[in-house]
Amino acid sequence: MKYKTFGKTGLRVSQVALGTGNFGMGWGYGADPDTSKAVFDAYVEAGGNFIDTADIYQFGQSEEVLGSLLEGRRENFVLATKFTNGAVPNADRLVTGNSRKALVASVEGSLKRLKTDRIDILWAHHPDGVTPAEEIVRGFEDLARAGKILYAGLSNFPAWRLARAVTLAELARAVPIAAAQFEHSLVHREPEADLFPASYALGLGIVTWSPLGGGMLTGKYRQGEKGRAEGFGGRVFQPENSAQRTAVLDAVLAVAGELDVSPDQVAIAWAGTHGAVPIIGPRSLTQLSSNLGALTVELTADQLERLDAVSAIVPASSARRPIPWSEGGAVPNLVA
């Protein structure tokens, strides 16, 4: 595992984060505690130190499982969780959304479930369409002053909301908005038009989720597997429902064959070329082992060009990749 400095912070995080949305069975689909422990320990053994969860994941079970797994080794990890949706089914309107009340209630619950005294990175999970950025920024500041969070981040916020919140925090000299998280994969490249450039310009740490398109890019759904296509009610799943997506998957499978690796490894390796920390969210030890194989995959310039061209959201002739880190990009190089 390699490590990178996270945005403008002093954190050194592993090149892939472990997403724990599958830790627990509260949603009726996930991993039991023993399997979760095996996945967690194997990720740690590989050198991983960046853990991402949320209060809503498995209705709080993900945080509870993590709380037990972190005992005795809490300081070895960057622990990130999210608020907005609540930790129980049909949570009351006063403890959901991004209000200060919901924020405080969520954090207090997360701290208990995680068995810790502070959260390293707290994400607002997504905009609620109501709470102004000023309130979110002030809420983060209050929690930082109380020692309950160290860094603040925004997840799934559009670029203009992200930029506004960062600016407001700077003007108020509040705890900075240090990071952005959003979906990004070969079948969801829209963030390259705005969220990536905004995050680079603002000096944010970037975390991306669903590098496998909810599993579509593994190719397993062509063999009749169901997985996330049904497991989460079809959410966070990108179906193979267009000619371009079929072409993208064909290209991933072709590159995987050329390199003698699995398709998931190609997709994760590609996601890692954009300066972000991709989140992997395995449900089993087998899936984790395969995902971690991406760390040793080296895509050639030709393979990158082919994958970029087939997945482009603009004409391929005008597509432009981010500035390589070695040529002065805003994101630091990975170091051993």
Query: Is residue 116 one of the residues assigned to a domain?
Result: yes
For 122-174, write each residue's pLDDT tens digit.
Answer: 999 999 999 999 999 999 999 999 999 999 999 999 999 999 999 999 999 99
Is the residue at 106 inside a domain?
Answer: yes
In a domain, 335, yes or no: no
Structure tokens at 256: 């995987």
Residue 308, domain member (yes or no): no
Among the listed residues 3, 29, 43, 57, the single catalytic one is 57
Range of the domain at 194: 3-216+263-298
Q: How many domains does the chain have?
A: 1
Residue 326 lies inside a defined structural domain of this protein: no
Q: What is the mean pLDDT of residues 265-286?
A: 98
Residue 76 maps to a domain: yes
**DSSP structure class, residue 333:** P
The verdict on residue 190 lying in a domain is yes
Mean pLDDT of 13-28: 97
Active site residue 221: no
* CATH number of the domain encompassing residue 145: 3.20.20.100
Please compute Rg for the chain using Cα positions.
19
Number of C-beta neighbours around residue 305 at 10 A: 14
On the question of pLDDT at 239 being above 90, the answer is: no
- Residue 325, Ramachandran bin (φ over 0: left; ψ between -120 and 50: alpha; else beta): alpha
Tell me if 277 sits within 8 A of 208, measured CB to CB.
yes
The 3-state DSSP class for residue 255 equals helix
